[in-house]
Structure 1
Amino acid sequence: MATIRDVAKRAGVSIATVSRVLNNVGHPVRESTRQRVLEAARELNFSPNDLAKSLLRGRTATIGLLVPDISNTYYADILSGVEAVASERQLVVLLGNTNRDRERQVRYLRVFQEKRVDGVILAGGDTEHGVEPGSLAESGLKIIWIGYGAPGIPAIHPDNEGGAMEATRLLVALGHRAIGCITGPPESNSSRARFVGYRRVLQEAGLPLRPEWVTSGGFRPEGGYEAVRRIFRSGHGERPTALFVANDQMAIGALRAFQELGLRVPEDVAVVSFDDVPIARFLRPALTTVAIAGADLGRQAMEMLFEFLDTGRPPASRQLTTRLVVRESSGGPVGTLQA
Protein backbone atom coordinates (compact mmCIF):
# COMPACT_ATOMS: atom_id res chain seq x y z
CA MET A 1 0.00 0.00 0.00
CA ALA A 2 1.41 3.37 -1.04
CA THR A 3 2.20 6.02 1.56
CA ILE A 4 2.51 9.79 1.43
CA ARG A 5 6.30 9.27 1.39
CA ASP A 6 5.94 7.18 -1.79
CA VAL A 7 3.91 9.93 -3.44
CA ALA A 8 6.50 12.53 -2.47
CA LYS A 9 9.31 10.39 -3.90
CA ARG A 10 7.44 9.73 -7.16
CA ALA A 11 6.62 13.44 -7.61
CA GLY A 12 10.09 14.60 -6.55
CA VAL A 13 8.78 16.87 -3.80
CA SER A 14 8.73 16.97 -0.01
CA ILE A 15 6.15 15.21 2.14
CA ALA A 16 4.98 18.64 3.32
CA THR A 17 4.29 19.67 -0.27
CA VAL A 18 2.22 16.52 -0.86
CA SER A 19 0.24 17.27 2.31
CA ARG A 20 -0.38 20.87 1.24
CA VAL A 21 -1.62 19.77 -2.17
CA LEU A 22 -3.88 16.95 -0.97
CA ASN A 23 -5.35 18.93 1.94
CA ASN A 24 -5.43 22.29 0.15
CA VAL A 25 -3.91 24.13 3.12
CA GLY A 26 -0.69 25.99 3.87
CA HIS A 27 1.46 27.98 1.46
CA PRO A 28 0.36 28.08 -2.20
CA VAL A 29 1.89 25.44 -4.48
CA ARG A 30 2.74 26.10 -8.11
CA GLU A 31 0.21 24.59 -10.49
CA SER A 32 2.83 22.46 -12.24
CA THR A 33 3.93 21.01 -8.90
CA ARG A 34 0.34 20.43 -7.83
CA GLN A 35 -0.40 18.50 -11.01
CA ARG A 36 2.75 16.42 -10.56
CA VAL A 37 1.67 15.47 -7.02
CA LEU A 38 -1.85 14.57 -8.11
CA GLU A 39 -0.52 12.49 -10.98
CA ALA A 40 1.82 10.60 -8.65
CA ALA A 41 -1.07 9.96 -6.23
CA ARG A 42 -3.19 8.61 -9.09
CA GLU A 43 -0.43 6.33 -10.34
CA LEU A 44 0.11 4.93 -6.84
CA ASN A 45 -3.63 4.73 -6.07
CA PHE A 46 -2.97 6.76 -2.93
CA SER A 47 -6.11 7.98 -1.10
CA PRO A 48 -5.54 8.60 2.61
CA ASN A 49 -8.98 10.13 3.22
CA ASP A 50 -12.18 11.30 1.58
CA LEU A 51 -10.83 14.80 0.96
CA ALA A 52 -7.84 13.47 -0.94
CA LYS A 53 -10.14 11.23 -2.97
CA SER A 54 -12.19 14.25 -3.89
CA LEU A 55 -9.10 16.21 -4.89
CA LEU A 56 -8.05 13.44 -7.24
CA ARG A 57 -11.42 13.81 -8.96
CA GLY A 58 -10.87 17.55 -9.23
CA ARG A 59 -13.13 18.40 -6.28
CA THR A 60 -12.49 19.36 -2.67
CA ALA A 61 -15.77 18.14 -1.14
CA THR A 62 -16.41 21.62 0.27
CA ILE A 63 -19.19 24.13 -0.38
CA GLY A 64 -19.12 27.82 0.51
CA LEU A 65 -22.26 29.42 1.97
CA LEU A 66 -22.45 33.19 2.34
CA VAL A 67 -25.23 34.74 4.47
CA PRO A 68 -25.82 38.37 5.47
CA ASP A 69 -26.98 37.80 9.07
CA ILE A 70 -26.69 34.44 10.80
CA SER A 71 -28.53 35.82 13.86
CA ASN A 72 -31.67 35.93 11.70
CA THR A 73 -33.30 32.52 12.06
CA TYR A 74 -34.43 32.69 8.41
CA TYR A 75 -30.79 32.31 7.36
CA ALA A 76 -30.21 29.71 10.07
CA ASP A 77 -33.03 27.68 8.48
CA ILE A 78 -31.39 28.04 5.07
CA LEU A 79 -28.10 26.83 6.58
CA SER A 80 -29.84 23.76 8.05
CA GLY A 81 -31.27 22.86 4.63
CA VAL A 82 -27.93 23.36 2.88
CA GLU A 83 -26.07 21.35 5.52
CA ALA A 84 -28.59 18.48 5.46
CA VAL A 85 -28.13 17.88 1.73
CA ALA A 86 -24.37 18.47 1.90
CA SER A 87 -24.09 15.90 4.68
CA GLU A 88 -25.95 13.33 2.56
CA ARG A 89 -23.34 13.84 -0.14
CA GLN A 90 -20.47 13.86 2.40
CA LEU A 91 -19.56 17.49 1.74
CA VAL A 92 -18.42 20.08 4.25
CA VAL A 93 -20.03 23.55 4.35
CA LEU A 94 -17.80 26.59 4.92
CA LEU A 95 -19.95 29.39 6.33
CA GLY A 96 -19.30 33.10 5.85
CA ASN A 97 -21.41 35.63 7.78
CA THR A 98 -21.03 39.04 6.12
CA ASN A 99 -23.14 41.04 8.60
CA ARG A 100 -24.25 42.94 5.47
CA ASP A 101 -20.74 44.33 5.07
CA ARG A 102 -19.62 44.69 1.45
CA GLU A 103 -15.90 44.27 2.15
CA ARG A 104 -16.61 41.04 4.04
CA GLN A 105 -18.57 39.73 1.07
CA VAL A 106 -15.63 40.28 -1.25
CA ARG A 107 -13.17 38.81 1.26
CA TYR A 108 -15.20 35.65 1.83
CA LEU A 109 -15.60 35.03 -1.89
CA ARG A 110 -11.84 35.39 -2.30
CA VAL A 111 -11.28 32.86 0.50
CA PHE A 112 -13.72 30.44 -1.15
CA GLN A 113 -11.72 30.73 -4.36
CA GLU A 114 -8.44 30.11 -2.54
CA LYS A 115 -9.90 27.07 -0.77
CA ARG A 116 -11.00 25.72 -4.16
CA VAL A 117 -14.54 25.05 -2.97
CA ASP A 118 -16.62 23.06 -5.41
CA GLY A 119 -19.36 25.68 -5.45
CA VAL A 120 -20.88 28.60 -3.57
CA ILE A 121 -24.38 29.45 -2.39
CA LEU A 122 -25.02 33.16 -1.86
CA ALA A 123 -28.01 33.76 0.41
CA GLY A 124 -29.58 37.19 0.60
CA GLY A 125 -31.08 39.46 -2.00
CA ASP A 126 -28.62 42.33 -1.45
CA THR A 127 -25.34 40.45 -1.92
CA GLU A 128 -24.82 41.72 -5.45
CA HIS A 129 -24.33 45.24 -4.10
CA GLY A 130 -21.04 44.12 -2.57
CA VAL A 131 -19.72 42.28 -5.63
CA GLU A 132 -19.84 43.17 -9.31
CA PRO A 133 -21.96 40.57 -11.15
CA GLY A 134 -19.32 40.40 -13.89
CA SER A 135 -16.61 39.52 -11.41
CA LEU A 136 -18.75 36.66 -10.08
CA ALA A 137 -19.14 35.20 -13.55
CA GLU A 138 -15.42 35.57 -14.21
CA SER A 139 -14.38 34.07 -10.87
CA GLY A 140 -14.83 30.52 -12.15
CA LEU A 141 -16.93 29.69 -9.07
CA LYS A 142 -20.11 27.73 -9.62
CA ILE A 143 -22.67 29.88 -7.82
CA ILE A 144 -26.31 29.49 -6.86
CA TRP A 145 -28.08 32.56 -5.52
CA ILE A 146 -30.82 32.44 -2.89
CA GLY A 147 -32.47 35.74 -3.71
CA TYR A 148 -32.84 37.71 -6.90
CA GLY A 149 -29.25 37.27 -7.99
CA ALA A 150 -27.57 38.88 -10.94
CA PRO A 151 -27.60 38.27 -14.70
CA GLY A 152 -26.04 34.92 -15.56
CA ILE A 153 -26.19 33.56 -12.00
CA PRO A 154 -28.78 30.78 -11.38
CA ALA A 155 -31.11 31.79 -8.56
CA ILE A 156 -33.87 30.51 -6.33
CA HIS A 157 -36.10 32.84 -4.37
CA PRO A 158 -39.49 32.97 -2.68
CA ASP A 159 -42.33 34.92 -4.25
CA ASN A 160 -41.66 38.03 -2.19
CA GLU A 161 -43.94 40.33 -4.12
CA GLY A 162 -46.82 37.85 -4.22
CA GLY A 163 -46.47 37.06 -0.52
CA ALA A 164 -46.52 40.76 0.39
CA MET A 165 -49.61 41.26 -1.75
CA GLU A 166 -51.41 38.43 0.04
CA ALA A 167 -50.47 39.87 3.45
CA THR A 168 -51.59 43.40 2.57
CA ARG A 169 -54.82 42.14 0.99
CA LEU A 170 -55.66 40.48 4.31
CA LEU A 171 -55.41 43.84 6.05
CA VAL A 172 -57.62 45.47 3.42
CA ALA A 173 -60.15 42.63 3.73
CA LEU A 174 -60.22 43.18 7.50
CA GLY A 175 -61.37 46.74 6.91
CA HIS A 176 -58.14 48.70 7.25
CA ARG A 177 -57.74 51.81 5.14
CA ALA A 178 -54.70 53.29 6.87
CA ILE A 179 -51.90 50.77 6.32
CA GLY A 180 -48.23 51.54 6.97
CA CYS A 181 -45.13 49.55 6.09
CA ILE A 182 -41.79 48.80 7.73
CA THR A 183 -39.35 47.84 4.99
CA GLY A 184 -35.96 46.12 5.10
CA PRO A 185 -32.62 47.60 3.96
CA PRO A 186 -33.08 49.81 0.89
CA GLU A 187 -30.37 47.89 -0.99
CA SER A 188 -32.13 44.54 -0.48
CA ASN A 189 -33.92 43.16 -3.54
CA SER A 190 -36.15 41.06 -1.29
CA SER A 191 -37.15 44.13 0.68
CA ARG A 192 -37.88 46.09 -2.49
CA ALA A 193 -40.03 43.27 -3.89
CA ARG A 194 -42.05 43.08 -0.67
CA PHE A 195 -42.58 46.84 -0.72
CA VAL A 196 -43.74 46.64 -4.34
CA GLY A 197 -46.33 44.02 -3.34
CA TYR A 198 -47.58 46.23 -0.51
CA ARG A 199 -47.78 49.27 -2.81
CA ARG A 200 -49.63 47.36 -5.55
CA VAL A 201 -52.39 46.30 -3.16
CA LEU A 202 -52.83 49.87 -1.91
CA GLN A 203 -53.20 50.97 -5.54
CA GLU A 204 -55.70 48.17 -6.23
CA ALA A 205 -57.78 49.20 -3.23
CA GLY A 206 -57.56 52.93 -4.01
CA LEU A 207 -55.77 53.62 -0.73
CA PRO A 208 -53.13 56.31 -0.23
CA LEU A 209 -49.46 55.48 0.20
CA ARG A 210 -48.44 57.86 2.97
CA PRO A 211 -44.63 58.42 3.01
CA GLU A 212 -44.72 59.19 6.73
CA TRP A 213 -46.14 55.71 7.30
CA VAL A 214 -43.29 53.95 5.47
CA THR A 215 -39.82 53.56 6.99
CA SER A 216 -36.91 51.10 6.99
CA GLY A 217 -36.14 48.82 9.90
CA GLY A 218 -33.09 47.11 8.39
CA PHE A 219 -34.51 43.57 8.83
CA ARG A 220 -33.52 43.58 12.54
CA PRO A 221 -35.57 43.71 15.79
CA GLU A 222 -34.07 46.99 16.93
CA GLY A 223 -34.89 48.45 13.53
CA GLY A 224 -38.53 47.43 13.81
CA TYR A 225 -38.68 48.90 17.31
CA GLU A 226 -37.32 52.27 16.17
CA ALA A 227 -39.50 52.27 13.03
CA VAL A 228 -42.68 52.00 15.10
CA ARG A 229 -41.56 54.84 17.33
CA ARG A 230 -40.91 57.00 14.27
CA ILE A 231 -44.25 56.27 12.63
CA PHE A 232 -46.42 56.49 15.75
CA ARG A 233 -44.74 59.58 17.17
CA SER A 234 -44.61 61.46 13.88
CA GLY A 235 -46.81 64.42 14.68
CA HIS A 236 -50.57 64.71 14.88
CA GLY A 237 -53.49 63.51 12.81
CA GLU A 238 -54.05 60.04 11.43
CA ARG A 239 -51.79 57.13 12.18
CA PRO A 240 -51.98 53.71 10.55
CA THR A 241 -54.35 51.15 12.00
CA ALA A 242 -52.30 48.34 10.46
CA LEU A 243 -48.71 47.62 9.48
CA PHE A 244 -47.19 45.32 6.92
CA VAL A 245 -43.73 44.50 8.32
CA ALA A 246 -41.25 43.08 5.80
CA ASN A 247 -39.83 40.42 8.12
CA ASP A 248 -40.51 38.76 11.47
CA GLN A 249 -37.34 40.05 13.10
CA MET A 250 -38.57 43.63 12.70
CA ALA A 251 -42.08 42.61 13.77
CA ILE A 252 -40.68 41.30 17.06
CA GLY A 253 -39.15 44.72 17.77
CA ALA A 254 -42.37 46.41 16.63
CA LEU A 255 -44.45 44.45 19.15
CA ARG A 256 -42.19 45.66 21.96
CA ALA A 257 -42.49 49.27 20.81
CA PHE A 258 -46.30 49.05 20.67
CA GLN A 259 -46.34 47.69 24.20
CA GLU A 260 -44.24 50.63 25.43
CA LEU A 261 -46.48 53.11 23.58
CA GLY A 262 -49.58 51.64 25.20
CA LEU A 263 -51.02 50.38 21.90
CA ARG A 264 -52.58 46.93 21.76
CA VAL A 265 -52.00 44.47 18.93
CA PRO A 266 -54.33 43.75 17.19
CA GLU A 267 -57.02 45.84 18.93
CA ASP A 268 -55.35 49.20 18.18
CA VAL A 269 -52.90 48.22 15.43
CA ALA A 270 -52.94 45.06 13.31
CA VAL A 271 -49.58 43.58 12.29
CA VAL A 272 -48.81 41.22 9.42
CA SER A 273 -45.24 40.11 8.79
CA PHE A 274 -43.07 37.93 6.54
CA ASP A 275 -40.86 34.78 6.94
CA ASP A 276 -42.69 32.72 9.63
CA VAL A 277 -39.61 32.12 11.77
CA PRO A 278 -40.11 29.42 14.45
CA ILE A 279 -40.71 31.89 17.30
CA ALA A 280 -43.51 33.69 15.39
CA ARG A 281 -46.24 31.35 16.66
CA PHE A 282 -45.05 31.60 20.28
CA LEU A 283 -45.18 35.39 20.54
CA ARG A 284 -48.06 37.19 22.24
CA PRO A 285 -49.90 37.93 20.09
CA ALA A 286 -48.78 35.20 17.72
CA LEU A 287 -47.70 36.70 14.40
CA THR A 288 -49.76 36.53 11.25
CA THR A 289 -47.01 36.12 8.70
CA VAL A 290 -46.08 34.95 5.21
CA ALA A 291 -44.38 31.57 5.51
CA ILE A 292 -41.17 30.84 3.65
CA ALA A 293 -39.71 27.37 4.01
CA GLY A 294 -36.12 28.49 4.62
CA ALA A 295 -34.81 24.97 5.02
CA ASP A 296 -36.48 23.99 1.73
CA LEU A 297 -34.81 26.97 0.05
CA GLY A 298 -31.46 25.69 1.30
CA ARG A 299 -32.14 22.13 0.17
CA GLN A 300 -33.27 23.16 -3.29
CA ALA A 301 -30.30 25.52 -3.68
CA MET A 302 -27.99 22.59 -2.92
CA GLU A 303 -29.81 20.39 -5.44
CA MET A 304 -29.35 23.12 -8.06
CA LEU A 305 -25.66 23.37 -7.18
CA PHE A 306 -25.17 19.61 -7.54
CA GLU A 307 -26.86 19.76 -10.94
CA PHE A 308 -24.47 22.56 -11.88
CA LEU A 309 -21.45 20.55 -10.68
CA ASP A 310 -22.54 17.31 -12.34
CA THR A 311 -23.49 18.74 -15.73
CA GLY A 312 -21.31 21.83 -15.94
CA ARG A 313 -24.37 23.79 -17.11
CA PRO A 314 -26.15 26.47 -15.04
CA PRO A 315 -29.56 25.15 -13.92
CA ALA A 316 -32.76 27.07 -14.54
CA SER A 317 -33.72 29.57 -11.86
CA ARG A 318 -36.65 28.75 -9.60
CA GLN A 319 -39.31 30.61 -7.60
CA LEU A 320 -40.94 29.11 -4.51
CA THR A 321 -44.51 29.90 -3.55
CA THR A 322 -45.28 31.40 -0.14
CA ARG A 323 -48.19 30.81 2.23
CA LEU A 324 -49.98 33.27 4.51
CA VAL A 325 -50.34 31.92 8.06
CA VAL A 326 -53.12 33.78 9.89
CA ARG A 327 -52.68 34.06 13.64
CA GLU A 328 -53.60 36.61 16.31
CA SER A 329 -51.68 39.76 15.35
CA SER A 330 -53.88 40.62 12.35
CA GLY A 331 -57.10 40.70 14.39
CA GLY A 332 -60.45 41.79 12.93
CA PRO A 333 -62.04 44.90 11.38
CA VAL A 334 -61.29 48.23 13.08
CA GLY A 335 -61.77 51.94 12.42
CA THR A 336 -59.14 54.66 12.02
CA LEU A 337 -56.87 55.31 14.98
CA GLN A 338 -56.39 59.00 15.74
CA ALA A 339 -53.25 60.45 17.34
Structure 2
Amino acid sequence: MTLQDVADAAGVSIATASRALNGGTRTTPARTRDHVLTVASHLGYRPHAHAQAVARGWVAYLGFLTDDVGDPCTAARLSALCRAARAHRVTLLVAQAGADARSAGEELDLLIGHGVRAVFVSRRLAGALRAPGTPGRRPPPDVRIVTVEDGAADGVRLPDEAYEQEIAALVEDLSTSRGGRGRRRAPHGPRAG
Protein backbone atom coordinates (compact mmCIF):
# COMPACT_ATOMS: atom_id res chain seq x y z
CA MET A 1 0.00 0.00 0.00
CA THR A 2 1.55 3.27 -1.11
CA LEU A 3 0.71 6.93 -0.79
CA GLN A 4 -0.24 6.85 -4.47
CA ASP A 5 -2.81 4.12 -3.73
CA VAL A 6 -4.36 6.31 -1.02
CA ALA A 7 -4.40 9.35 -3.32
CA ASP A 8 -6.05 7.36 -6.12
CA ALA A 9 -8.70 5.85 -3.81
CA ALA A 10 -9.44 9.27 -2.29
CA GLY A 11 -9.57 10.98 -5.68
CA VAL A 12 -6.89 13.54 -4.81
CA SER A 13 -3.38 14.29 -5.97
CA ILE A 14 -0.44 12.60 -4.27
CA ALA A 15 0.64 16.01 -2.92
CA THR A 16 -2.78 16.54 -1.31
CA ALA A 17 -2.74 13.03 0.17
CA SER A 18 0.75 13.64 1.54
CA ARG A 19 -0.23 16.96 3.13
CA ALA A 20 -3.36 15.40 4.63
CA LEU A 21 -1.44 12.48 6.14
CA ASN A 22 1.85 14.12 7.05
CA GLY A 23 1.10 17.79 7.57
CA GLY A 24 3.35 20.32 5.99
CA THR A 25 3.70 23.99 5.29
CA ARG A 26 0.58 24.14 3.13
CA THR A 27 -2.70 23.24 4.72
CA THR A 28 -5.40 20.96 3.39
CA PRO A 29 -9.07 21.79 3.96
CA ALA A 30 -10.43 19.87 6.96
CA ARG A 31 -13.02 18.04 4.85
CA THR A 32 -10.38 16.85 2.37
CA ARG A 33 -7.98 15.88 5.16
CA ASP A 34 -10.69 13.90 6.97
CA HIS A 35 -11.63 12.14 3.72
CA VAL A 36 -8.02 11.17 2.99
CA LEU A 37 -7.51 9.96 6.58
CA THR A 38 -10.67 7.84 6.37
CA VAL A 39 -9.61 6.30 3.05
CA ALA A 40 -6.08 5.64 4.37
CA SER A 41 -7.50 3.96 7.47
CA HIS A 42 -9.92 1.87 5.43
CA LEU A 43 -7.08 0.73 3.15
CA GLY A 44 -4.81 -0.03 6.10
CA TYR A 45 -2.20 2.48 4.96
CA ARG A 46 0.82 2.91 7.21
CA PRO A 47 3.35 5.64 6.47
CA HIS A 48 6.78 4.38 5.51
CA ALA A 49 8.98 5.93 8.20
CA HIS A 50 12.21 5.54 6.25
CA ALA A 51 10.72 7.14 3.13
CA GLN A 52 9.42 10.04 5.22
CA ALA A 53 12.81 10.51 6.82
CA VAL A 54 14.58 10.47 3.46
CA ALA A 55 12.10 13.02 2.11
CA ARG A 56 12.84 15.26 5.12
CA GLY A 57 16.55 14.77 4.52
CA TRP A 58 17.12 13.20 7.91
CA VAL A 59 17.07 9.54 8.90
CA ALA A 60 16.69 8.80 12.60
CA TYR A 61 18.84 5.73 13.24
CA LEU A 62 21.13 5.07 16.16
CA GLY A 63 23.52 2.15 16.45
CA PHE A 64 24.62 -0.01 19.38
CA LEU A 65 27.86 -1.96 18.97
CA THR A 66 28.92 -4.50 21.57
CA ASP A 67 30.93 -7.66 21.81
CA ASP A 68 28.62 -9.33 24.35
CA VAL A 69 24.90 -8.67 24.01
CA GLY A 70 24.24 -11.48 26.50
CA ASP A 71 26.01 -9.73 29.39
CA PRO A 72 23.34 -8.64 31.93
CA CYS A 73 24.64 -5.06 32.15
CA THR A 74 24.95 -4.75 28.37
CA ALA A 75 21.46 -6.15 27.93
CA ALA A 76 20.10 -3.67 30.49
CA ARG A 77 21.84 -0.76 28.72
CA LEU A 78 20.50 -1.94 25.38
CA SER A 79 17.03 -2.18 26.86
CA ALA A 80 17.29 1.40 28.18
CA LEU A 81 18.43 2.58 24.75
CA CYS A 82 15.51 0.77 23.10
CA ARG A 83 13.02 2.50 25.38
CA ALA A 84 14.60 5.91 24.78
CA ALA A 85 14.75 5.35 21.02
CA ARG A 86 11.11 4.27 20.90
CA ALA A 87 10.07 7.34 22.90
CA HIS A 88 11.77 9.57 20.32
CA ARG A 89 10.67 7.58 17.27
CA VAL A 90 14.24 6.61 16.47
CA THR A 91 15.24 3.20 15.13
CA LEU A 92 18.01 1.44 17.02
CA LEU A 93 20.24 -0.93 15.03
CA VAL A 94 22.26 -3.45 17.04
CA ALA A 95 25.48 -5.13 15.96
CA GLN A 96 27.54 -7.67 17.86
CA ALA A 97 31.20 -7.86 16.98
CA GLY A 98 33.96 -10.11 18.14
CA ALA A 99 36.36 -8.55 20.64
CA ASP A 100 38.97 -7.95 17.92
CA ALA A 101 39.57 -4.73 16.00
CA ARG A 102 38.79 -6.27 12.59
CA SER A 103 35.34 -7.48 13.61
CA ALA A 104 34.57 -4.22 15.45
CA GLY A 105 35.63 -2.16 12.42
CA GLU A 106 33.50 -4.23 10.06
CA GLU A 107 30.41 -3.93 12.27
CA LEU A 108 30.95 -0.19 12.73
CA ASP A 109 31.21 0.14 8.95
CA LEU A 110 27.94 -1.77 8.57
CA LEU A 111 26.14 0.55 11.02
CA ILE A 112 27.54 3.65 9.31
CA GLY A 113 26.41 2.23 5.96
CA HIS A 114 22.86 2.20 7.32
CA GLY A 115 23.05 5.92 8.03
CA VAL A 116 23.15 5.97 11.84
CA ARG A 117 23.36 9.39 13.55
CA ALA A 118 25.39 7.97 16.42
CA VAL A 119 26.83 4.66 17.57
CA PHE A 120 26.90 3.61 21.21
CA VAL A 121 30.06 1.51 21.57
CA SER A 122 31.24 -0.49 24.58
CA ARG A 123 34.45 0.85 26.07
CA ARG A 124 36.27 -2.38 25.21
CA LEU A 125 35.36 -2.11 21.53
CA ALA A 126 36.03 1.64 21.44
CA GLY A 127 39.60 0.81 22.40
CA ALA A 128 39.82 -1.84 19.68
CA LEU A 129 38.47 0.61 17.09
CA ARG A 130 41.21 3.11 17.91
CA ALA A 131 43.89 0.48 17.28
CA PRO A 132 46.18 1.26 14.32
CA GLY A 133 45.14 -0.48 11.13
CA THR A 134 41.54 -1.09 12.17
CA PRO A 135 39.63 -1.95 8.99
CA GLY A 136 36.46 -0.17 7.99
CA ARG A 137 35.54 3.44 7.56
CA ARG A 138 36.09 6.04 10.17
CA PRO A 139 32.83 7.71 11.13
CA PRO A 140 31.89 10.64 8.89
CA PRO A 141 31.70 14.08 10.54
CA ASP A 142 27.97 13.82 11.25
CA VAL A 143 28.14 10.49 13.13
CA ARG A 144 28.81 10.62 16.87
CA ILE A 145 30.54 7.82 18.73
CA VAL A 146 29.26 7.46 22.31
CA THR A 147 31.26 5.21 24.63
CA VAL A 148 29.27 3.17 27.16
CA GLU A 149 30.66 1.20 30.04
CA ASP A 150 31.19 -2.51 29.60
CA GLY A 151 29.27 -5.07 31.57
CA ALA A 152 29.29 -6.82 34.89
CA ALA A 153 32.80 -8.17 34.37
CA ASP A 154 34.05 -4.57 34.73
CA GLY A 155 32.23 -4.12 38.03
CA VAL A 156 29.54 -1.84 36.62
CA ARG A 157 26.12 -2.14 38.22
CA LEU A 158 22.92 -2.50 36.26
CA PRO A 159 21.54 0.83 35.00
CA ASP A 160 19.30 2.65 37.44
CA GLU A 161 16.61 5.34 37.04
CA ALA A 162 19.23 8.11 36.82
CA TYR A 163 20.95 6.23 33.98
CA GLU A 164 17.60 5.85 32.20
CA GLN A 165 16.97 9.61 32.46
CA GLU A 166 20.46 10.50 31.25
CA ILE A 167 20.31 8.09 28.31
CA ALA A 168 16.84 9.41 27.38
CA ALA A 169 18.20 12.98 27.34
CA LEU A 170 21.17 11.87 25.22
CA VAL A 171 18.92 10.06 22.71
CA GLU A 172 16.66 13.11 22.55
CA ASP A 173 19.69 15.28 21.79
CA LEU A 174 20.90 12.85 19.11
CA SER A 175 17.45 12.51 17.56
CA THR A 176 16.90 16.25 17.26
CA SER A 177 20.37 17.52 16.40
CA ARG A 178 21.38 17.63 12.76
CA GLY A 179 25.01 16.81 12.96
CA GLY A 180 28.00 17.85 14.95
CA ARG A 181 30.46 15.06 15.38
CA GLY A 182 31.45 14.40 18.88
CA ARG A 183 32.78 11.68 21.05
CA ARG A 184 31.26 11.52 24.47
CA ARG A 185 30.74 9.06 27.21
CA ALA A 186 27.31 7.83 28.05
CA PRO A 187 26.27 7.70 31.67
CA HIS A 188 27.33 4.45 33.27
CA GLY A 189 26.06 4.35 36.80
CA PRO A 190 28.14 3.75 39.89
CA ARG A 191 30.90 1.19 40.06
CA ALA A 192 30.23 -1.87 42.12
CA GLY A 193 32.15 -1.61 45.18
- Which bracket does the TM-score occupy, shorter chain normalised? 0.5 to 0.7
CA distance in 2, matches of 1:296, 1:67: 22
Note the alpha carbon deviations across 1:255-308, whole angstroms, 9 max, x for none.
xxxxxxxxxxxxxxxxxxx23xxxxxxxxxxxxxxx342786466345324324
Residues 141 and 63 from structure 1, CA distance in 2 versus in 1: closer, same or farther, beyond 3 angstroms? same
- What is the letter of the counterpart of residue 109 of structure 1? L
Matches within 5 A, 1:1-339: 3=4, 45=18, 48-131=47-130, 136-138=138-140, 140-147=142-149, 247=153, 274-275=155-156, 291-293=157-159, 297=163, 300-301=166-167, 303-311=169-177, 312-313=179-180, 314=182, 317=185, 320=188, 322=190, 324=192
- What is the letter of the counterpart of residue 146 of structure 1? V
Question: How far did 1:114 drift?
Answer: 1.7
CA distance in 2, matches of 1:316, 1:107: 21
CA distance in 2, matches of 1:59, 1:53: 9
Question: How far did 1:320 drift?
Answer: 5.0
Q: TM-score under structure 2 normalisation?
A: 0.59
Aligned residue for 1:99, secondary structure, equals coil
CA distance in 1, matches of 2:76, 2:110: 24
Note the alpha carbon deviations across 1:174-213, whole angstroms, 9 max, x for none.
xxxxxxxxxxxxxxxx7xxxxxxxxxxxxxxxxxxxxxxx
- Structure 2 stretches of 5 or more lacking a match? 8-13, 23-46
RCO greater where, 1 or 2, for CA within 8 Å and sep 6 or more?
Answer: 2
> Are the aligned partners of 2:72 and 2:158 in contact in 1 as well (CA < 8 Å)?
no
Question: What RMSD in Å do the two structures reach over aligned CA positions?
Answer: 3.9
Between Structure 1 and Structure 2, whose CA radius of gyration is higher?
1
> Are the aligned partners of 2:95 and 2:111 in contact in 1 as well (CA < 8 Å)?
no
> Are the aligned partners of 1:83 and 1:93 in contact in 2 as well (CA < 8 Å)?
yes
Question: How far did 1:84 drift?
Answer: 0.7
Residues 68 and 299 from structure 1, CA distance in 2 versus in 1: closer, same or farther, beyond 3 angstroms? farther
Q: TM-score under structure 1 normalisation?
A: 0.37
> Are the aligned partners of 1:81 and 1:298 in contact in 2 as well (CA < 8 Å)?
yes
- Structure 1 stretches of 5 or more lacking a match? 7-40, 148-189, 191-218, 220-245, 249-273, 276-290, 326-339
CA distance in 2, matches of 1:105, 1:295: 30
CA distance in 2, matches of 1:319, 1:61: 21
Residues 54 and 94 from structure 1, CA distance in 2 versus in 1: closer, same or farther, beyond 3 angstroms? same
CA distance in 2, matches of 1:306, 1:315: 16
CA distance in 1, matches of 2:191, 2:121: 24
Q: How many residues align?
A: 154
Note the alpha carbon deviations across 1:221-243, whole angstroms, 9 max, x for none.
xxxxxxxxxxxxxxxxxxxxxxx
Residues 101 and 125 from structure 1, CA distance in 2 versus in 1: closer, same or farther, beyond 3 angstroms? closer
